[in-house]
Amino acid sequence: MKVTEHLERASDTLISYEIIPPKRGGSAEQMLDVVEELMPFDPPFIDVTSHSAEVSYEQTDDGTWERCIERKRPGTLGLCAAIEARFDIDTVPHLLCRGFTREETEDALIELNYLGIDNVLGIRGDETGFKKPIDGGRSRNEYAVDLVRQIEDMNNGRYLEDLKDAEPTDFCIGVGGYPETHFEAPNLTWDIMRLKQKVEAGADYIVTQMFFDNDYFFEFVEKCRDVGIEVPIIPGVKILKRKSHLRLLPKYFHTEIPEELTAEVDAAEPEDVEKIGVDWAIQQTEELMEAGVPCIHFYIMSSAQTVKKVVEPLRETA
């Protein structure tokens, strides 16, 4: 089932989750166990992130530096297929511009279509220092809007080659939004107009980057509606679990952590930080639910233990 169909059929706010494939050489069972823990909470769909190759440098025995390219977390498509087969839960595999050619993307979409996976999230992807060489007539999607256009083209039976009687796909397309403005955008208004282009290209819904202040989300939604963006907008929530998050989350996700939460975490003992983060997430989630958001999307990555502490009390009061 498509994400948009889940949203249309729901009478209350849904709660979805995002996980990460295991590192190369790891076991899929690790992440399938995480999904197993989420089953009592009836997740409508689960996102599985994707990662392109990364560049690192290692010093050799002769003192020179060697450039190493490695994709550390492959397996997005396989993990999605395993989740759907074992748990009968819809999945949303992430597709990236960076690190993949349009030809590779088309092949991945064909695989997903054969597997009966109905949803994809199209994003540009993080900068990893690796720029895939393009040769042999291949091409790349530079921005998420280009990727959305490619997926929508396939939904209309248009492939990279001019194929006669090509079978159209029928993917529900999600894209990312940034309530606190994408770090490369000059301002929020400009950023929202780029988001509108993705919707006009074929995006069916938006899921936001994590935020800790709901006012940013409410203002973001209002501005989106003002410019004519009418698709569902799903807020993304991250639970702050350790003191290092005060530094790492703003650095890597360009999100602001409110002064009240920062002060409480700063003053707490390390073992008490998770409870502070859980309490904040419960308060944040309750306010979003009262505002009638269609779904709340938790970034949990590789563990369900903390998010269960947020979702369980919400179910008890529902």
Domains, in order of start, for the chain: 3-317 (3.20.20.220)
Q: Are 180 and 208 in contact (CB under 8 A)?
A: no
Measured between alpha carbons, how far is 268 from 62 in angstroms, rounded to an integer? 48
What pLDDT is stored for residue 245 in this prediction?
97
User: Structure pTM?
Assistant: 0.92
Angle between helices 214-226 and 273-290 in degrees, nearest 10: 30
What pLDDT is stored for residue 254 in this prediction?
95
∠ CA 5-295-18, nearest 5°, is: 95
Q: For the chain, which ranges sit under pLDDT 50?
A: 53, 55-57, 59, 65, 67
Give the rounded percent of residues in the chain with a pLDDT score beyond 70. 90
What pLDDT is stored for residue 51 in this prediction?
73
CB-count exposure of residue 164 (10 Å: 0-12, 13-18, 19+): exposed
What pLDDT is stored for residue 73 in this prediction?
82
Would strands 119-123 and 172-177 be described as parallel, antiparallel, or unpaired? parallel
Strand partners, 122: 95
What pLDDT is stored for residue 130 in this prediction?
54
Angle between helices 214-226 and 188-201 in degrees, nearest 10: 60
What pLDDT is stored for residue 99 in this prediction?
85
Kindly calculate the radius of gyration of the chain based on its CA atoms and give it in whole angstroms: 20
pLDDT digits (tens, 9 = 90+) for 287-302: 999 999 999 999 998 9
What pLDDT is stored for residue 132 in this prediction?
61
